[in-house]
C-alpha cells in the first residue's frame, strides 16, 4: 500500500475486555515498531520487529500486552484485560531495512485511538 | 536512560513570523535526530532527519540544527503560515547497532494565527 495502515481507527472497550489492533506496514519494509501515545505526550516505544522476529519488547508495560508478526508483514498488538490506563493512541511505524541505520526513516500510521471505559 | 525535552510546550504566533522550537536530550550517544509533525487525529510525518555527524538540515522553510555535544537541536520555521499549525515532535535514535527505538519529546503545539 501507499502508507502504513492501522485498524480500527477507534476502539472503545469495556474494562476487562481483550482488544486486538492491526498494523499493515509499507510493502517490503523489514522493520516494524509499535508506540503508545498518551494524551498530550510524545509516543513511547513498545516493541520492535525485524521481519517476524521480535527483537525488542522492553517497552511493553505489562504481560497483558502481546505483539506478533507471524509472517513478517502484518502485525497485531493484543491487550488482554484492558484497564483505563491503557487508553491511548497506539501508533505503528515501519522502515525499510534496519541495516542502514543512519538513513532509516520510520513511517507512521494514523494510529488506533483506544478508549477503555 | 535517554530523556528528550521540548520547549516551549505550546506556542501561538501571528502569520509571517519566524520561530524556533527547541529540543534537548540527555545522552549524546545518538545516531540521528528527527523532527516530526503531527496533525490532530493523524500519524507522524517526518520533516527532517539529521545524522549525528551533521550540523544542520534544510527543507524549504524548515531548518534543523544539531549540537550533539551539548544535547540540543532547534527547528527553525521561516515565514510561518496557518497551515504550519500542528504539534512538532523531536525524536532521537540511539547509537548502538541494535537500537532502533526512537525516544520522543512531549512535543510543541504550534498555532499560527492568520
CB contact under 8 A, B101 and A42: no
Cα-Cα-Cα-Cα dihedral sign, residues B67, B73, B79, B83: positive
Among the residue ranges A86-100, B32-46, B61-75, the one predicted with the least confidence is A86-100
pLDDT digits (tens, 9 = 90+) for B93-105: 887 655 578 999 9
CA of A109 vs chain B CAs: smallest distance (Å): 5
pLDDT digits (tens, 9 = 90+) for A1-60: 579 999 999 999 999 999 999 999 999 999 999 999 999 899 999 999 999 999 999 999
pLDDT on residue A103: 58
pLDDT on residue B108: 97
pLDDT on residue B39: 93
Residue A100 has pLDDT above 60, yes or no: no
**Which residues sit opposite B60 in a β-bridge?**
none
Buried b or exposed e, range B5-23, using 16+ CB within 10 angstroms: ebeeeebebeeeeebebeb
Q: Which residues of A touch B105 (CB under 8 A)?
A: 42
Task: Tell me the C-alpha distance between B85 and A114, whole Å.
Answer: 25
Task: Tell me the C-alpha distance between B112 and B96, whole Å.
Answer: 38
Residue B95: is it exposed, middle or buried by C-beta count within 10 angstroms (0-12/13-18/19+)?
middle
* Of the partner residues B42, B49, B103, the one whose CB lies closest to the CB of residue A105: B49
CB contact under 8 A, B103 and A106: no
Helix (H, G, I), strand (E, B) or coil at A85: helix
pLDDT digits (tens, 9 = 90+) for B34-54: 999 999 888 899 999 998 899
Residue A94 has pLDDT above 70, yes or no: yes
Q: Which residues of A touch B89 (CB under 8 A)?
A: 42-43
Q: What is the mean pLDDT of residues B14-33?
A: 94
CB contact under 8 A, A106 and B46: yes
Q: What is the mean pLDDT of residues B14-26?
A: 96
CA of A101 vs chain B CAs: smallest distance (Å): 8
CA of B87 vs chain A CAs: smallest distance (Å): 10
Report yes or no: B44 at the A interface, CB cutoff 8 Å. yes
Strand ranges across the sheet with B72-77: B4-7, B19-25, B72-77, B62-67, B56-59
Amino acid at each position: 500500500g501507499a502508507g502504513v495502515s492501522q485498524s480500527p481507527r477507534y476502539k472503545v472497550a469495556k474494562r476487562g475486555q481483550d482488544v486486538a489492533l492491526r498494523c499493515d506496514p509499507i510493502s517490503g519494509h523489514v522493520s516494524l515498531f509499535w508506540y503508545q501515545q498518551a494524551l498530550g505526550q510524545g509516543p513511547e516505544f513498545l516493541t520492535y520487529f525485524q521481519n517476524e522476529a521480535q527483537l525488542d519488547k522492553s517497552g511493553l508495560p505489562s504481560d497483558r500486552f502481546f505483539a506478533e508478526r507471524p509472517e513478517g508483514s502484518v502485525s497485531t498488538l493484543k491487550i488482554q484485560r484492558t484497564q483505563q490506563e491503557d487508553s491511548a493512541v497506539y501508533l505503528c511505524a515501519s522502515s525499510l531495512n534496519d541495516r542502514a541505520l543512519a538513513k532509516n526513516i520510520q513511517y507512521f500510521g494514523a494510529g488506533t485511538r483506544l478508549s477503555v471505559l | 536512560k535517554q530523556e528528550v525535552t521540548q520547549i516551549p510546550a505550546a506556542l501561538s504566533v501571528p502569520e509571517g513570523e519566524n520561530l524556533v522550537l527547541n529540543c534537548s536530550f540527555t545522552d549524546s550517544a545518538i545516531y540521528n535526530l528527527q523532527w516530526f509533525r503531527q496533525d490532530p487525529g493523524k500519524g507522524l510525518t517526518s520533516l527532517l532527519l539529521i545524522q549525528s555527524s551533521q550540523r544542520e538540515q534544510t527543507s524549504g522553510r524548515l531548518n534543523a540544527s544539531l549540537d550533539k555535544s551539548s544535547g540540543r537541536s532547534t527547528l527553525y520555521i521561516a515565514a510561518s503560515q496557518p497551515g504550519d499549525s500542528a504539534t512538532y515532535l523531536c525524536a532521537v535514535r540511539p547509537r548502538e547497532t541494535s537500537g532502533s527505538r526512537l525516544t520522543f519529546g512531549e512535543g510543541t503545539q504550534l498555532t499560527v494565527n492568520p
